[in-house]
Amino acid sequence: MTSHIAKERAKLTKTSIIDARTLETSNKRLAEILKPGMTVLDVGCGTGAITCGIAEKVGSRGRVIGVDNNPQLIEKARQNYKDVPRLTFEIQDIYDLPFQNQFDIVTSSRVLQWLSNPQKALNMMVQATKINGFVLVLDYNHDKIVWEPEVPKSMQHFYESFLRWRSEAGMDNAIADHLPEMFKEAGLINVKITPQHEMAENSDEEFQTHITIWAEVAQFKGIQMVNDGFISEKERAQAEEDFRRWINERAKSQKMYLLAVEGMKK
Ligand SMILES: C[S@@+](CC[C@H](N)C(=O)[O-])C[C@H]1O[C@@H](n2cnc3c(N)ncnc32)[C@H](O)[C@@H]1O
């Protein structure tokens, strides 16, 4: 039951944030370990922005498959990157991956946070990985976000409701810090943790893009939360308005706690 609710809540309604990501800026640890000629599976690839960077990095001797359970996103990915050789996109659910011992690296970024059974998903990723291959997961601990200065009360209330809305669907808000244990449970060895926290400061060129993510969450995920009875439309709209004003008038920085965790399949 929670898995059905989680699937509904995980649905992406706006893609501008994931479209703007690149391998180099948004999955740095993966960029470091990729080598020419590797085969890579990117699970929960969205519209394929990071996946395309993976394909460029593994080059003409490599092979990359991006999978996502949202057909609209896969359609966009196919359109966006149809000219990139040795890169294909498939509609697949992470719980039902049809691959066995096939890839040098199986990776998933910012996806397990949206699942009600992330351990099962991780086990499926391990199954798709070759012996001596690597699994690399990138994910957040949403309990550890830091905004400077404090965000308005209405936004604090929205954010607390957002975390409750997620955890009541079985999602783990602190999943980044639970990944190492989950990797051991999945039988992976040589588990390595690399902090990849997303830091945005108001002197940065891209500050608006990064900090606006939570205004967009209030705008789009907020509607789902209203429909699910977790917050009123008045509270949602107030949080969005106050947060946008805070961005323009007061915001100094935002830190999103993000870890890359990798392990080897025996
Ligand atoms: C926050 S987006 C991350 C996209 C991209 N990996 C990135 O880092 O920008 C989460 C993605 O996971 C996908 N997703 C969620 N549940 C999934 C599932 N059960 N199987 C496959 N993909 C899933 C969503 O459709 C969405 O594209």
Task: Please tell me the pTM assigned to this model.
Answer: 0.96
Instruction: Write the DSSP assignment of 34-103 as a string of letters.
Output: --TT-EEEEET-TTSHHHHHHHHHH-TT-EEEEEES-HHHHHHHHHHTTTSTTEEEEE--GGG----S-E
Write the pLDDT tens digit of every residue in 77-118: 999 999 999 999 999 999 999 999 999 999 999 999 999 999
The residue contributing the CA closest to ligand 1 atom 11 is 44
CA-115 nearest atom, ligand 1? 16
What domains can you pick out in the chain, each with its CATH number? Answer: 2-265 (3.40.50.150)
Q: What mean pLDDT comes out for the span 24-32?
A: 97
Tokens of 127: 């199954």
Residues with beta carbon inside 6 Å of ligand 1?
10, 12, 18, 21, 44-46, 50, 68-70, 73, 93-95, 109-111, 114
Write the pLDDT tens digit of every residue in 200-229: 999 998 898 889 999 999 999 999 999 999
